[in-house]
Amino acid sequence: MNTYPLNEEQMFKDLRGLMQIKTINRNCGPMTDQMPLGEGVYNALQYVAGLAEKMGFKTKMLDGYSIWIEAGEGEKLVANLCHVDTVPVEDSGWVADPFDATLIDGKVYGRGICDDKGPTILSLYALKALVDAGKLKDKRVRLIVGGDEESGAWVCMKRYRETEELPVCAFSPDGDYPATYAEKGIMHVTVSRDLDPSITPLELEGGKTYNIVPAYASATVNGKKYEAEGKAAHASRPELGINATRELCKKLAADGVDHPFVKLMGIADTKGWGIDFEDEPSGKLTLNPAISIVTLERAEVKCDLRIPVTYKPEDVTAAINKAVAPLGFKAECDFVLGSLYVPKDSELVTTLQRVYKDCTGRDDEPISVGGGTYARTFDNAVAFGPLLPGEENTNHKTNECWDYKNMLLTYQIIANVMEQL
């Protein structure tokens, strides 16, 4: 392991500058031809590119969707995949301004500090350290920074692939350590039905985005108001949260409300919907009933599912339909993002594992996850960091934070990985 110097004061200043730009995915100001992902994302991409240019790097803006930053020499191109957009700040209770970087008791708080603005700035400084140390004489390293990761559509990476050089290998510091050799497929499914006037008049809302477990839901039945609070968590780990819509429907059922949607939510888990699938490479299927809207005419819930790598989306949809049809509902697949699988014994994974062990002293096995990263958009690419095993994952939650010592460790890991790939 090489230890690279870091100007922590300047790094933190630059980090704060990025954190203070509001970049909520698809909801950060006007969206124009020049700023297709919103003014905030555009400004953040410009900001990072500006930092890179001051460091002497080549940069290119790709129509407001993404940027790349490059250093080094040679034919070989290695990529580091980051993003500047964030999920919303959904509820109150933050101990510090979510649109800043605030150090409290050894942790840095702010929306996107770990997912993924912090790793973006650390990657930029790691690239500078490699150049200063003369380590990039036989290859080029390119930071590819996108602005549409949290939507799952990833139009930023699609735009990159249209015209830009593809790397021979890549990693994305947008997940967990050690190397992530498998990522489950991602599906968005809408389960819905029309309602007729004879059904109990229920109006309900819960959740705002696919990839967060809803933290609040409310309903009205015959003029009576109901509310429920849950606990937000990333959709890839719904077991870490409490689904407010499910909790609300439990209240409604306990109060004698007879409604198809209440019954639907009563069985809205993988077993109840007949999708308790599992495989050896990637583990269990997960389900997040994310965005619920019930009016007097229609009931629907939009769901995020993370599918084991050996299962097909059409089989999942068919199983859900079989389970929900008796309640009059129909499931339709709206979106699919294919799974990722890179063998554990590949050169990419073994190199990442070696660097991880050298930098941390740990000998953890490569992992599989339900989260989706930009690594899926390139051949021979995996997620790698920045969260250590056992470190609390606050991504997408209130009080998102990152241990400052672990931030500094990740800086060293990223620098060593970009050197050795």
Dihedral Cα 47, 210, 291, 370, nearest 10 deg: -150
One DSSP character per residue, 212-237 reads B---EEEEEETTEEEEEE-B--BTT-
Positions marked catalytic: 85, 149
Helix (H, G, I), strand (E, B) or coil at 142: strand
Distance, CA of 410 to CA of 19 (rounded, Å): 18
**In terms of C-beta density within 10 A (0-12 exposed, 13-18 middle, 19 or more buried), how is residue 363 classed?**
exposed
User: Would residue 193 be called left, alpha or beta, if left means φ above 0 and alpha means ψ between -120 and 50 degrees?
Assistant: beta
Q: Which of 117, 157, 148, 145 is nearest to 26 (CA)?
A: 148
Cis, bond preceding 116 (omega within 30 deg of 0): yes
